[in-house]
Structure 1
């Protein structure tokens, strides 16, 4: 027995020694691929070939394997969750919005087209633990910015390795996998690419799941929950991650859950699985009817928000040690509310409308009423069409269209989402459109009663009777919400020798304030009173008909003391009637002087005008509801208002009379510039279908980028700089740094200069049409500018190619001799950060040296700088065939191809270029005795490639139309081309 024990002890010792040796041996198990679960096959089928290769055996696969192994031992079982997530991801990937593969129309970017689900499939081919790590990537990408998420990844990887080192026994077999995983290197760049892929997936999946996600975000907005109360970053992240996965797994299995923290809600928003919710306070049941969740899987939670419009959201604070190079940990806090970090341009307009409402202050009592106020002000523009309004007044059009969308929302969910955006703009976007010191006249100045009265007064040249003037003033006073004792109307009595003034109430007063009935009882009905200064007129109802006043009284002219001239803008009433003396505090304390002072408010001082009691509490601003009521009631008076109110200048000067002082003038101009800049950017984004922007753009003052439209129309670099600004929410990229930029990759979008995606003959539409958005990315974090090298390489001449170079005379036939020519995209190792916050480790914007190369079959020919070639002085670019003016001539002139016509008028020989070898070693005597004709008919890839190579070789190049042209037109059009050309691209 003792011998047996010695043998067993020896065996154990030998095993431990082997284990120790294996643990210290660096095994790269990340190259191993496992079979992906069947639920992920739909996802794989929708991915591009390049992304599948990366997911199965490329860098992202290695990252997924290493991260999965590193965290495997602390993960809960999630098989059911992993299966459900695979089904949901496959369903999302199969939708028409995402399921697009690259094609020839995408040129060199074809292999990068399509949604980025690489990290998902990399995880699926790396085991269930890697799927869990992908879920964490989505959770962090949803909650934190790119640099913050990368810093979190670096920290938790470091802490996990430290945890393994300190808490596992190297002599134990069960510790071996964790210790081997801890030895694997996972670089910061690996983690950045991992985060970027998950971030891009969320952008695409959110678009497909927009309805459910919006509904969930509206609930999250009112939750007021903390994600985690744990202070240490590593422990907090692990707790949130594992808690969310375990809870959702139980829900999918049909087990109800009650939550008091926000971890699950964050997980639901980024994993796109939606169990039904029971919301307590007040009790509401939200049904998603998600087929992935078994019956009974219901979440119960309470809402904490007590103030409508608050955006408490789900809050999470972490201390990040790896965010900056120098200094202590940086504490960062995030809140996931109703609005995601990415919004559409139309949603940004809604935020801008909210910011304007905030600047207008208390006169906007309700966002929907504020929107109606903006819409009714549109009636001041008469019958102008929407297109004319957008062209002439783009700033106002932006606000008006946002207000109109808010009013016309098709569903309660859409309306509530827009109201959240409005509230967000009021709270958080105060400096998006205005400087901190700016103040605005509310509602374009129409909250000022004087301004609004001028707008609704009858047009010049239209006379009105005294009765009409008084009635208009009374209607205005009533709609302004004036009390009976606050104002009086002064008007001239008609047909009197001295044009005697009379005074009447603006708001009816109770008769008991004026008279009693014969029995001495108080009268309680409201009536209008009138006071005349000529007693002889008291019984003349032709001067003061009952429609003006039911009660006439005499007032001694000496009681009325005018200030400021014969018809002054102020007067005192020595012994004011009781209806005006309702507030004794407004009367003089001197018993001998019981007077009230009245100050002119609106109307014509020399005719009919409204005076208010001076010194009595008085609202100088109308509310949104009052403005709406007044404008709608007087809309018939607006036919000619546009000239005087909206045509003052080309800027957003809504009303020349709304500018009360120099400060207001500056504020109105700042608002004008800001909205105009936003409208200009919006015009460009209208061409970028499906593009979103960072909600952080509200931190960039729009008034600081004036003249944007002029720059956008003039410069392609300005367009890329503008996109970078809206992608990052910072204005740190100088367009001068982007002079050679040809594309921009960010999130799930590649923004490409059109010239890289079309035949070189097509118009070089810079302006607002110079960039196309492609769904896809290049797999790098942040905003990446793609720029060619300064001197692209061309394959050297091969002396042995003389056997295949013929340079035969051109026979006039238009053929495609370059059918195997293709365009490809690749990257060198050169990368320069363009926008890095001081001390930060990760760049928001970088520029990457990018090669667009052309291949003939599998053989590299050259690297291209297409944009530079098109701008070169060696390039003669005819934008389109000249319009034929002889199509109705009889007989009609002969129609021939441009190259045939050039051959007929030229004294030089036309030599065919039928291969790359014949272009790289061009015909002799070019431009002197011969002209080379590249035959690449109807093949835009080959035409753009041969054009670029020809120019880069220093040859004067002309790209010709492929359509036939009448010989009469051609005779005059192609003489100049012929004298210039060394190479013709046919």
Structure 2
């Protein structure tokens, strides 16, 4: 039935036809009520502009219309509404205290502060005489949808809910059912526009971002609970195509369960509706999970009365890749043309947003994965990164490594240190990166990627050791691990200090040798043996040697083999480990005896060399790992590292960072200006900073050269990003173009760029015009 037909049916079904006809066109949504007392602290913190919008503007109209349209759909929940008011007031107060006061008197004063517009609009749209507080229930639904679905999906769901609700009311009128006038009038009015629904959803989405950042500890605890469970929000998966039924049932179940929980009545659930509710509404009852292993989690939320325990009637999921709470729907209005889109969303153990430090923990996991290291080696890998950064920053080494790669490694080293110190807290983020290796490109300029930049390869590792003594120490270390039990271990020898005319030799294992001593003429002891070509050491290390005798070394080298002449007949010895043209360990060639086991450099060997300062200069090649670290360094030093409270989209990890449009411009700059590189590329250029920012915080991947020069800031979610100079007194402005984050938004959905006028109108200066200030 069309709106016009519905209006006609409404008029004929009403006794007072004249009054009804007049009221159909009357905007009853402008009615305003006093907000409940629990919500008053929230209202006091809103900027005047947001408050006006919530009480008299578009947000108030949307709240009133939706509340009237869905009248009597939800159960009465007075205790939940009261508890929610206390929680949102608490969150807004804490968020406001964290926000700097320096923006209070800036040009963004009207837009700064928490965006609780949808909450205040709902609070002032709810009739205090009605127990159901319908508009606040509408906001609670908006929070559930914003928590589970993307903005386009949530708007599509809203549009379908409204259309189906209007159809149901039309059928009731046709049957002659008695309906409240406000319900019929709400259905008879014109369709709520998508733009209005998008703004309603954007406000709820911004609030969730702020609330999640304030209640981060409780949200993280809840994610741990969701780690090993799998529940569906829709009880009947066959109803996924019936969006209205699936959503309203989940909405009502969540309201009923949470109402009883905050009232102190224990509840057991077998679906995910209540879990969606408590994550979106930030109310945390104690949770018990019963299964093969029972788990009890005490959340200690004062808003939940004693006895309000949520029991999940399921044990840990048998599915290794648990998805937490899922919700499947078939959305008819997601696209303007085409068949319904089957969609599924989930809330599980991972946040939808990460801090930059958490992003670097995920990067640590990506690197470990791409290098083929197991999770068991995670601790050793983290320690190596930490020591490697210290080594690269020492002495002249820092001059030999590209400064962006060095800064990227420094950021990775900081993440490694955090993982070592707080492993329980950081492991989920590292695992997040391990499961998303696509953050690194599949290939980079056909340069192979090897673990720890080839430092675990035999030739590279030995070349990077600072001197022959370090190499001898390492060869003895690796021999003790692989050869100590071999019957011919004592016959092995190390060849080193090689020139065209001189070669020195060293024993691998201690043996009994004859020495001279001041007290006695001869003695026998277990020690290492050296045959030095010139009877001197080639370095000033403190090595304890005792000269035994002057005699030729009982070894020779020819055609890649060492020959041992100690027992008369030369015994050939082949290379076991090392470089034939450098320092190497040789083993006897005896086909009658078992072959010596092959050796490889392990993580502990590299860590050992770094800890004991045995490494010389290390070259870091430009491969897929170092190139991604360089880009992260540019983004961090130019933009992200300067923004307090910045949250990065989790989806940033779903594709290679090198494919971002801003990253490609950086790569071109790297090729043409290798000395200045990324720091010069991003400094002093606001469009470039916005290009980087848009990629990490939103779905937008903007080419910086496509951003107009007069763009002066962006608004997204619960944040406004602008040059710091725009928040200062003009007399205090500096030449720096540093971007700052202001808690708030300009009230529009999506990623919004705002700009200044290219040619502002300025009054002309006239000689006959005098202006005087007293």
Scaled by the length of structure 1, the TM-score of the pair is 0.63
Alignment partner of 2:558 out of 555, 560, 566: 566
Deviation at 1:197, TM superposition (A): 0.5
Displacement of 1:82 in angstroms is 0.8
Give the structure with higher Rg (CA).
1
Q: Provide, for residues 339-374 of structure 1, a one-character-per-residue CA deviation record: whole Å limited to 9, x for no partner.
A: 221211111111111111111113552433321221
Deviations 1:606-643 (A, max 9, x none): 665256999989787655455435544xx1424xx2xx
Residue 219 of structure 2 is aligned to residue 213 of structure 1:
yes
Shift of 1:317: 2.4
Aligned residues: 687
1:202 to 200, 205, 208: 208
Shift of residue 18 of structure 1?
A: 4.2
In the alignment, what sits opposite 1:134?
A: 139
Change in Cα spacing, 1:434 to 1:416, as seen in structure 2 (3 Å) is farther
> What does residue 585 of structure 2 align with?
609
2:753 is aligned to 785
Q: From the superposition, tell whether residues 596 and 213 of structure 1 become closer, same or farther in structure 2 (CA, over 3 Å).
A: farther
Q: Which residue of 272, 275, 282 corresponds with 1:265? A: 275
**Distance between the aligned counterparts of 2:231 and 2:595, measured in 1?**
48
Q: Please list, as runs of the form range in 1=range in 2, the aligned pairs for 1:537-686 lying within 5 A after superposition.
A: 546-547=526-527, 566=558, 568=560, 599-602=575-578, 608-609=584-585, 622-625=601-604, 627-629=606-608, 631-632=610-611, 635-638=612-615, 641=616, 644-645=617-618, 648=619, 653=620, 668-683=622-637, 684-686=639-641
1:444 aligns with 2:453: yes
Q: Give the Cα–Cα distance (whole angstroms) in 1 for the partners of residues 285 and 223 of structure 2.
A: 14
Equivalent-residue separation in structure 2 for 1:394 and 1:629 (angstroms):
24
Deviates more, 1:46-55 or 1:280-289: 280-289
1:706-855 mapped onto 2 (5 Å cutoff): 706=666, 707=669, 708-762=678-732, 764-766=734-736, 769-793=737-761
| Preserved CA contact (<8 Å) 1:323 1:330 | yes
Provide the aligned C-alpha RMSD in A. 4.2
Partner of 2:436: 428
1:342–1:694 Cα contact (<8 Å) kept: yes
For residues 506-532 of structure 1, give each alpha carbon's deviation from its aligned partner in whole angstroms, at most 9, with x where no partner exists: 7xxxxxxxxxxxxxxxxxxxxx899xx
SS of equivalent residue, structure 2 residue 86: helix
Q: Which of 379, 391, 407 is residue 368 of structure 1 equivalent to? A: 379
In structure 2, do the counterparts of structure 1 residues 211 and 54 end up closer, same or farther at CA, with 3 Å as the change threshold?
same
Provide the C-alpha distance between the structure 2 equivalents of 1:175 and 1:131, rounded to a whole number of angstroms: 19
1:686-730 CA distance string (max 9 Å, x none): 222222121222235322413443331141111112211112144
Match for residue 87 of structure 2? 88
Cα displacement string for residues 244-287 of structure 1 (whole angstroms, at most 9, x for unaligned residues): 11111111111222222222222211111001111334222211
Contact 1:355 / 1:433 at 8 angstroms: preserved in 2? Answer: no
Q: CA deviation at 1:114?
A: 0.6
Offset at residue 386 of structure 1 (A): 13
Partner residue, 1:54: 53
Whole-Å separation in 2 of the counterparts to 1:700 and 1:265: 30
Q: Choose which of 380, 397, 407 in structure 2 pairs with 1:394.
A: 407
Counterpart CA distance in 2 for 1:470 and 1:335 is: 56
1:474 equivalent in structure 2 = 476
> Secondary structure at the residue paired with 2:109?
helix
**Structure-2 change in CA distance of 1:681 and 1:923 (3 Å):** same
Deviation at 1:751, TM superposition (A): 1.0
Aligned to 2:42: 43
Unaligned runs of 5+ in 2: 1-10, 127-132, 513-521, 530-554, 565-570, 670-677
Contact 1:98 1:115 in 2 (8 A): no
Q: Which protein, 1 or 2, shows the higher relative CO under an 8 Å CA cutoff with sep ≥ 6?
A: 2
Shift in Å, 1:304: 3.2
CA 245–21 in structure 1, closer or farther in 2 if over 3 Å, else same = same
Is the 1:138–1:271 contact (alpha carbons within 8 Å) kept by the matching residues of 2?
A: yes
Would you say the 8 A contact 1:222–1:304 is kept in 2? yes
Report deviation, 1:570: 9.6
Alignment of 1:868-879 (within 5 A): none
- CA separation of 1:709 and 1:699: change in aligned 2, threshold 3 A: farther
Select the residue among 400, 404, 424 that pairs with 1:416. Answer: 424
Structure 2 residue 306 is matched with structure 1 residue 295:
yes
Q: Secondary structure at the match of 1:778?
A: coil
SS at match of 1:721: helix
**Change over 3 Å in CA distance of 1:483–1:224 after alignment to 2:** farther
The separation in 1 between residues aligned to 2:596 and 2:244, in whole angstroms, is 60
| Cα offset, 1:401, TM superposition | 0.8
Give the structure 2 partner of residue 355 of structure 1: 366
1:543–1:395 Cα change, 3 Å: farther
Find the residue that maps to 2:714 and give its secondary structure: strand
Matched residue, 1:34: 33
User: Quick check: 1:700–1:729 contact (8 Å CA) kept in 2?
Assistant: no
Q: Aligned to 2:316, what secondary structure does the other structure show? A: coil
Structure 2 CA distance for partners of 1:26 and 1:384, relative to 1, 3 Å = farther
Shift in Å, 1:735: 3.5
CA 607–453 in structure 1, closer or farther in 2 if over 3 Å, else same: closer
* TM-score, normalised via structure 2 length: 0.79
Distance in 2 (alpha carbons) for counterparts of 1:289 and 1:215: 12
Select the residue among 245, 259, 265 that pairs with 1:249: 259
1:699 aligns with 2:654: yes
CA drift of 1:754 comes to 3.0
CA distance in 1, matches of 2:334, 2:580: 66
- Please tell me whether residue 223 in structure 1 is matched to residue 193 in structure 2: no
Shift of 1:416: 3.5
Alpha-carbon distance between aligned partners in 2 of 1:440 and 1:477, rounded to the nearest angstrom: 28
* Structure 1 residue 922 corresponds to structure 2 residue 765: yes
Is the 8 Å Cα contact of residues 19 and 173 (structure 1) preserved in structure 2?
no
Distance of 2:187 and 2:319 partners within structure 1:
48
Q: Answer whether contact 1:600 1:612 (CA < 8 A) is retained.
A: no
Paired with 1:757 and 1:92, the residues of 2 have a C-alpha distance of 25
Structure 2 CA distance for aligned equivalents of residues 257 and 743 of structure 1:
48
Query: Is 2:280 the partner of 1:304?
Result: no
Give yes or no for the alignment of 1:154 onto 2:159: yes
2: CA distance, partners of 1:790 / 1:782: 24
Query: 688-697 or 207-216, which moves further after superposition?
Result: 688-697
For 1:678 and 1:493, locate their aligned partners in 2 and report how far apart those are by CA, in whole Å: 42
Moved more, 139-148 or 783-792: 783-792
**How many Å separate the matches in 2 of 1:164 and 1:610?**
90
Partner of 2:110: 111
